[in-house]
Structure 1
Amino acid sequence: MMKKGILLVMPVPFREVGGRLGFDDQTCEGLVRWAENFERVVMACPVIPEDVAANSETSMTWQAIADLPCADRLELVPLPYAYKIPDFIKTYKSTSQLLSNKIQECEYLCFALSGVIGDWGAIACLTAMKLKRPYAVWADRVEYEVIGRTLWKKESLKKASLKRLLKDFVTLPLLKPYQRYLIRRSRLGLFQGQDCYTAYSPFCQNSHCVYDIHTHKSDQIDAASLDSKIKSISSHEPLRLCYVGRVAEMKGPLDWVRVIHHLCQAGVNLQATWLGDGPLLSEMKSLAVELGVSEKIHLAGFVSDRTQILETMRNHHIFLFCHKTPESPRCLVESLVSGSPIIGYSSPYAEGLVSEFGGGAFVPIHNWQKLANLISELNTDREKLSKLIFNAALSGQQFDEQSVFQNRSDLIKQYLK
Structure 2
Amino acid sequence: MIENEDFRGKHVLFVTAVRLRRGPRGLQLDNQTCAGLSRWAESFDHVTYIGIEQPTDIEDDTTVNWIDVVDLTCRDQLKVIALPFAYKFGRFFKEYKSTRKKLAAEVAKADHLCFTLGCIVGDWAAIAAMEAIKQNRDYAVWFDRVEHDVIRKTLSSMPQKRRVKEIVTLPFMIKYHQYLIRHSKLGLFHGQDTLEGYAEYSTNPHCFHNVHTQLNDFIDSEALNTKTKRALSGAPLQVLYVGRAVDMKGPVDWVDAITKAAQAGVPLQAKWIGDGPLLHEMQKRVSANKLEDQILLPGFSADRKAILSEMRNADLFVYCHKTRESPRCLIEALVSGCPIVGYQSLYASDLVSRNGGGLGTPINDPAALAVEIQELHANRERLVQLFNAAAADGSKFDEQSVYAHRAGLIRKYS
Whether the 8 Å CA contact 1:17–1:63 is kept in 2: the answer is no
CA distance in 2, matches of 1:307, 1:204: 38
2:130 maps to 1:132: no
Whether the 8 Å CA contact 2:38–2:72 is kept in 1: the answer is yes
Aligned to 2:96: 92
Aligned to 1:145: 149
CA distance in 1, matches of 2:304, 2:33: 14
Aligned to 1:221: 219
Task: Work out which of the residue numbers 366, 371, 379 in structure 2 matches 1:373.
Answer: 371
2:22 maps to 1:16: yes
Deviations 1:380-413 (A, max 9, x none): 0110110011100001111011111101000111
CA distance in 2, matches of 1:68, 1:62: 12
Shift of 1:127: 0.6
2:169 maps to 1:171: yes
CA distance in 2, matches of 1:131, 1:179: 19
CA distance in 1, matches of 2:78, 2:350: 34
Matches within 5 A, 1:189-268: 189-268=187-266
| TM-score, normalisation: structure 1 | 0.96
CA distance in 2, matches of 1:75, 1:289: 49
Aligned to 2:3: none
CA distance in 2, matches of 1:4, 1:308: 37
Residue aligned with 2:293, SS: helix
Whether the 8 Å CA contact 1:17–1:62 is kept in 2: the answer is no
Structure 1 stretches of 5 or more lacking a match? none
Letter in 1 for 2:87: Y
Task: Work out which of the residue numbers 378, 387, 390 in structure 1 matches 2:388.
Answer: 390
Structure 2 stretches of 5 or more lacking a match? 1-8
Letter in 1 for 2:89: I
Residue aligned with 1:51, SS: coil
2:82 maps to 1:78: yes
Shift of 1:221: 0.5
Letter in 2 for 1:77: I
Matches within 5 A, 1:250-399: 250-399=248-397
Task: Work out which of the residue numbers 33, 49, 54 in structure 2 matches 1:27.
Answer: 33
Alignment size in residue pairs: 406
Letter in 1 for 2:404: Q
CA distance in 1, matches of 2:218, 2:26: 34
Shift of 1:223: 0.8
Shift of 1:19: 3.8
CA distance in 2, matches of 1:206, 1:230: 43
CA distance in 1, matches of 2:267, 2:345: 28
2:66 maps to 1:66: no
Shift of 1:166: 2.0
Whether the 8 Å CA contact 2:356–2:393 is kept in 1: the answer is yes
CA distance in 2, matches of 1:294, 1:259: 15
Task: Work out which of the residue numbers 41, 47, 51 in structure 2 matches 1:45.
Answer: 51
Deviations 1:142-195 (A, max 9, x none): 01000001101xx32xxx3x3322221211121211111110110000000000
Shift of 1:357: 1.6
2:61 maps to 1:57: yes
**Aligned-residue RMSD, C-alpha:** 1.0
Shift of 1:292: 2.5
CA distance in 2, matches of 1:175, 1:195: 19
2:127 maps to 1:123: yes
Deviations 1:341-382 (A, max 9, x none): 000000000111011122000011101111110111111011
Whether the 8 Å CA contact 2:13–2:112 is kept in 1: the answer is yes
Deviations 1:284-320 (A, max 9, x none): 1001111222221110101000001101111110000
Whether the 8 Å CA contact 1:197–1:209 is kept in 2: the answer is yes
In terms of mean alpha carbon deviation, does 287-296 or 373-382 score higher?
Answer: 287-296
Aligned to 2:5: none
CA distance in 2, matches of 1:17, 1:364: 45
Residue aligned with 1:331, SS: helix
Deviations 1:77-127 (A, max 9, x none): 211111111110000111111111000100000000100011011111111
Whether the 8 Å CA contact 1:260–1:293 is kept in 2: the answer is no
Shift of 1:34: 0.6
Residue aligned with 2:167, SS: helix
